[in-house]
Amino acid sequence: MNKEVFAAVAEALDKGEPAALVTIVSTTGSTPQRVGAKMLVFPDGRLVGTIGGGCYENDAFWKAREAITTRKPQLVHYELDDDFAQETGLICGGQMSVYIEPIEPSPELYVIGAGHVGYHLATMAQDVGFQVHVVDDREKFASRERFPNAAEVVTEDIPTWLERTPLPAHAYVVIVTRGHNNDLDALRALAARDLRYLGLIGSRAKVARITDQLLSEGLPADALKQVHAPIGLDIGAVTPQEIAVSILAELIAVKHGKIKSRDAAELSMKWSKIKA
Q: Are residues 49 and 136 in the same domain?
A: no
Which of 84, 103, 122 finishes a domain? 103
Which of 61, 82, 103 finishes a domain? 103
Q: Are residues 124 and 140 in the same domain?
A: yes
Predicted confidence (pLDDT) per residue in 75-126, tens digit: 999 887 655 444 544 445 578 899 999 988 888 999 999 999 999 999 999 9
Q: Are residues 123 and 91 in the same domain?
A: no
- Rounded Cα–Cα distance for residues 201 and 62 (Å): 38
Identify which has the larger pLDDT, 251 or 81: 251
Q: Are residues 119 and 71 in the same domain?
A: no
Burial class (CB in 10 A: 0-12, 13-18, 19+), 89: exposed
Q: Are 37 and 65 within 8 A, CB to CB? A: no
- In which band, very low, low, confident or very high, does the pLDDT at 247 lie, cut at 50, 70 and 90? very high
Q: Are residues 138 and 227 in the same domain?
A: yes
Q: Are residues 202 and 147 in the same domain?
A: yes
**pLDDT mean over 162-174:** 92
Look up the domain containing 174 and give its range: 108-275
**Domains: count for the chain:** 2
CATH code where residue 119 lies: 3.40.50.720
- Rounded Cα–Cα distance for residues 98 and 20 (Å): 12
Q: pLDDT at position 80, please?
A: 74
Residue 50's identity, in one-letter code, is T
Q: Are residues 16 and 58 in the same domain?
A: yes
- pLDDT at residue 267 is higher than 80: no
Q: Are residues 112 and 89 in the same domain?
A: no
What is the average pLDDT score of the chain? 86
Q: Are residues 77 and 210 in the same domain?
A: no
Identify which has the larger pLDDT, 31 or 182: 182
Which of 75, 103, 131 finishes a domain? 103
Identify which has the larger pLDDT, 154 or 265: 154
- Work out whether strand 131-136 and strand 108-112 pair parallel, antiparallel, or are unpaired: parallel
Q: Which are the contacts of 4, defined by CB distance < 8 A and separation ≥ 6?
A: 48, 49
Q: Are 76 and 100 within 8 A, CB to CB? A: yes
Q: Are residues 95 and 124 in the same domain?
A: no
- Work out whether strand 172-175 and strand 152-155 pair parallel, antiparallel, or are unpaired: unpaired
Q: Are residues 140 and 63 in the same domain?
A: no
pTM of the predicted model as reported, rounded to 2 decimal places:
0.74
